[in-house]
Structure 1
Amino acid sequence: MRDINLYTIGFTKKKAEYFFEKLRQSGVRRVLDVRLNNVSQLAGFAKRDDLSYFLKRLGGMEYIHLADLAPTQKMLDDYKKHKGDWAVYEEQFLELMAQRHIEERISEETLDGGCLLCSEDKPHHCHRRLIAEYLQKKWTNEIRVTHLV
């Protein structure tokens, strides 16, 4: 058994300099984008193609979009637009991860040294934290999670 080092980060409320330095200093090797919408103009420097370029040029990091780890549009709308209850969202999201069998669809090698990226500033009410906790329960290897805030 070996430890897996997994990081999480959100880009909202962060300047690009802080965001990229935080990733670089932590030793992240790849950013695992778990957003449903990763091309929105509202994402600024974190739009898919721009982010991929900046990660490679500024930190030698890889960019991977993992759509299977994103919520559905309906789930996102119910929680964000219709001010849904976090507990309901959390339950639905964890059920979705189980239905998708994400523990079988992503390799430990991809996750190790990876950083789950979403938009939320903090991990408390973000699905990136739920993904990390879900995989901690499913895999036998120890997953050490560090939330970069």
Structure 2
Amino acid sequence: MSKGPICYTIGYGDRTLEEFISMLQNNKITHLVDIRRYPHSWMEHFDKEPLRSILPKNGISYVHCTGVGGMRESSYSEYMGTEEFNNSFSRLIDFIMEVNGIDGNPVLMCAEKNPKDCHRRYLAQHLEQLGIKVIHLTEPGQIDFSSFS
């Protein structure tokens, strides 16, 4: 019996790179999808290029999906009604399903530790409406299954 599609989310917040990678590995994450519009951080090791370099060395592939990123001129919920968002979200769903199809575990990553303070909450709602179970990795050893509906 199939478990159904699953997608994780995580925010790096003020974590060290070692703690972040440990959380990913402890949850058997195979593919990280960077959902920041601008993949830069005040902590340089969370910039796009360092992540693209170090994650594969730890058994995790890196993909950047800018089209579902936050920091928009309008509100994120307004942005979700655009063609740009819908096209990017469709590609994200295809990627999640592809990763699940090879028994992988995708995670959506941005900066905010708490998904309730982040655009991940809106993405999670949309994914859950499509039957994709969303699991939020919050602190080491802790996960949040709660829906934001």
Same topology, TM > 0.5: yes
Name structure 1 gaps, 5 residues minimum.
76-91
Find the counterpart in structure 2 of residue 24 from structure 1.
Answer: 25
Q: Aligned ranges for residues 1-149 of structure 1 at < 5 Å? A: 3-40=4-41, 42-58=42-58, 60-75=59-74, 92-99=75-82, 100-101=85-86, 102-106=88-92, 107=94, 108-110=96-98, 112=100, 113-137=105-129, 139=130, 142-149=131-138
* Identity of matched residues, %: 25
Q: CA deviation at 1:93?
A: 1.5
What is the DSSP-based 3-state SS (H/G/I as helix, E as strand, rest coil) of the residue aligned with 1:63? strand
Distance, in Å, in 2 between the alignment partners of 1:127 and 1:111 is: 22
Q: CA deviation at 1:74?
A: 2.3
Contact 1:28/1:115 (<8 A) preserved: yes
Q: CA deviation at 1:134?
A: 1.3
Contact 1:103/1:135 (<8 A) preserved: no
What is the DSSP-based 3-state SS (H/G/I as helix, E as strand, rest coil) of the residue aligned with 2:8? strand
Contact 2:127/2:133 (<8 A) preserved: no
Contact 1:94/1:134 (<8 A) preserved: no
Distance, in Å, in 2 between the alignment partners of 1:46 and 1:95 is: 28
Give the alignment's Cα RMSD to 1 decimal: 2.0
Q: Quickly say closer, same or farther: Cα 1:12–1:109, change in 2 above 3 A.
A: same
Higher RCO, 1 vs 2 (CA within 8 Å, ≥6 residues apart): 1
1:24-73 deviations in Å (ceiling 9; x for gaps): 11011110001011134x13211101011111112x11101001111244
In structure 2, what residue type is equivalent to 1:98?
A: G
Contact 2:34/2:109 (<8 A) preserved: yes
Q: Quickly say closer, same or farther: Cα 1:31–1:17, change in 2 above 3 A.
A: same
Name structure 2 gaps, 5 residues minimum.
139-149
In structure 2, what residue type is equivalent to 1:27?
A: K
Distance, in Å, in 2 between the alignment partners of 1:29 and 1:98 is: 30
Worse-matched range after superposition: 24-33 or 2-11: 2-11
Q: CA deviation at 1:136?
A: 1.6
What is the DSSP-based 3-state SS (H/G/I as helix, E as strand, rest coil) of the residue aligned with 2:37? coil
Worse-matched range after superposition: 98-107 or 13-22: 98-107
Aligned length: 128
What is the DSSP-based 3-state SS (H/G/I as helix, E as strand, rest coil) of the residue aligned with 2:108? strand
**Greater per-residue helix proportion:** 1
